[in-house]
Amino acid sequence: MSILKTPLTRRTVLKSTAIGAGVLAAPAIISSGALASSGEVNFTGWAGYPGMAEKVFPAFEKATGIKVNFTEQPDQDTMFAQAKISLATGTSDVVEPTLDRVSAWNSNGLLQGWDLKKLTVDNYAPGLADGSADTLATIDGQKLIVPSVWGTEALVYSTEGFPTEYGKASLADLFNPANQVTVRGHSALAAMGRWLDAEGKLPKPWIDGYKDEATMVELWDIALAEAIKAKGNIVQFWSGENDAQAAFRTNGAVLGLCWDSTGFNMKKEGGYAYLAPKEGAFAWNQGLVLLKSAKNIEQAHEFAKWVSTAEGSALWATAFSANPVGKGGIDLMDPTVSEFYKASFPGDAVSKMYWWPSQAAWFLSKRGEYADKYKAA
């Protein structure tokens, strides 16, 4: 069986395809600080990834002696509900939401900060636990989430129809009338906003539009107007993986703002590649939070620390068919995956990623309205 059939994909695409295969052979990493060889940790995570129970947790137990009691949940809302119950019962220690949900979890009194002295923060690849990702992960001086896996939305391009390279490829290319393009509605508007911001053409930083509705309307009105002016080059709006691939195969797109899964699948066919724009790829990550009611504190820290190692992060990423967070993790994965990753994120591309900010219910509703206006214009 191959290691990854559809690697480096976004969660909503992966849940039906992840096979949880193993990584290339690597020596077990024995933690010297693990309460070693004893204890357990109660972990609540995503359902539908058999590789977690089959390969990841056994490797962690072998490395540290700590047993993982795994509770699978289908989505973050269910994880959140269970975490609230755990405040009284103490049944969960560690949970795996996405970075943009942490503020809401914290405001509900569910979290405590990680003790960074008990982790190895230097294990993480640049840009994943520092910079803007660290800003989102830190509230009131406490690091509330540490990364476990991540994915992106960046540029898929035809190597013949739109030859480009890192440092040259830009979000601006999506709005050049010379390029036949495919985009997702709300992502294209965010790309326009980020590009205008980078060019100094907005009255306020684009990120401020996620904080209150009045500022969002002010900034998204500008982005919408500019995007509509440049709409003539869009050959197809996509909403899912099949749509995105069809835009290139049958509708003549030479460039698109798409998931990394689209880039990987099109690259396999030949003639296409995937690349971070110079402004930074859109990125999401999920991570590990420590519940305020956690009982197995030491073991929880050993768990988070192991996930940040090269071996642990490679196993975790393989189970999810996504990207590893630990330095050296990518080198332990299937060579095809490693080659794709390194070509897509050369130089400082990982450190320049743009993490999707927290998006409240009001924001998501307004975002949908703007996307509808854009597609209907």
The answer, yes or no, to whether residue 31 has pLDDT greater than 50, is no
The whole-model pTM stands at 0.80
Residue 361: beta bridge partners? none
Q: What is the CATH number of domain 11-150+284-354?
A: 3.40.190.10
Distance from C-alpha of 348 to C-alpha of 334, rounded to nearest angstrom: 23
pLDDT tens-digit profile of 302-316?
A: 999 999 999 999 999
The position carrying tokens 């095809």 is 336
Quick one: which of 94, 116, 98 has its CA closest to 291?
A: 94
Equal CATH topology for 11-150+284-354 and 152-282+358-376: yes
On the 0-12 / 13-18 / 19+ scale of CB atoms within 10 A, 82 is middle
DSSP state of 18: -
Closest CA relative to residue 272, chosen from 357, 358, 161: 161
Return the structure tokens found at 289. Answer: 């939070």
The pLDDT score that the predictor gives to residue 240 is 84
What percent of the chain is modeled with pLDDT above 90? 81
Helices (H), 90-211: 102-107, 131-137, 185-198
The band of 38, judged by pLDDT with boundaries at 50, 70 and 90, is confident
Q: 279 near 171, Cβ under 8 Å?
A: yes
Q: How far is residue 105's CA from residue 124's CA, in Å, rounded to a whole number?
A: 23
Supply the pLDDT for residue 321.
81
Report the distance separating Cα 196 and Cα 203, nearest Å: 10
Provide the sign of the torsion angle of the four alpha carbons 328, 56, 288, 35, taken in this order: negative
Measured in degrees and rounded to the nearest 5, phi and psi for residue 236 equal -165, 135
* All structural domains of the chain with their residue ranges: 11-150+284-354, 152-282+358-376
- How sure is the predictor about 3, in pLDDT bands with cuts at 50, 70 and 90? very low
Q: Band of the pLDDT at 189, cuts 50, 70, 90?
A: very high
- Token pair for 306: 């192991």
Structure tokens at 19: 């096979």
- CATH for 152-282+358-376? 3.40.190.10
With bands split at pLDDT 50, 70 and 90, how would you rate the model's confidence at 196? very high
Average per-residue pLDDT in the chain?
89
Instruction: Pull the structure tokens for residue 262.
Output: 């689209």
Q: Look at the alpha carbons of 174, 282, 346, 240 in this order and tell me if their dihedral is positive or negative.
A: negative
Which tens digit of pLDDT belongs to each residue from 215-231? Answer: 999 999 999 999 999 99
The tokens for 62 are: 């072998």
User: On the CB side of 70, how many CA atoms lie within 13 Å of its CA?
Assistant: 22
Count other Cβ atoms within 10 Å, centred on residue 205.
12
Please state the rounded mean pLDDT for residues 162-184.
97
What are the tens digits of pLDDT across the range 229-270? Answer: 999 999 999 988 889 999 999 999 999 999 998 999 899 999
| Alpha-helical regions (H) of the chain | 11-14, 50-51, 57-64, 76-89, 102-107, 131-137, 185-198, 213-229, 241-249, 260-269, 297-307, 310-320, 335-344, 361-376
Q: How many CB atoms lie within 10 A of CB 39?
A: 16
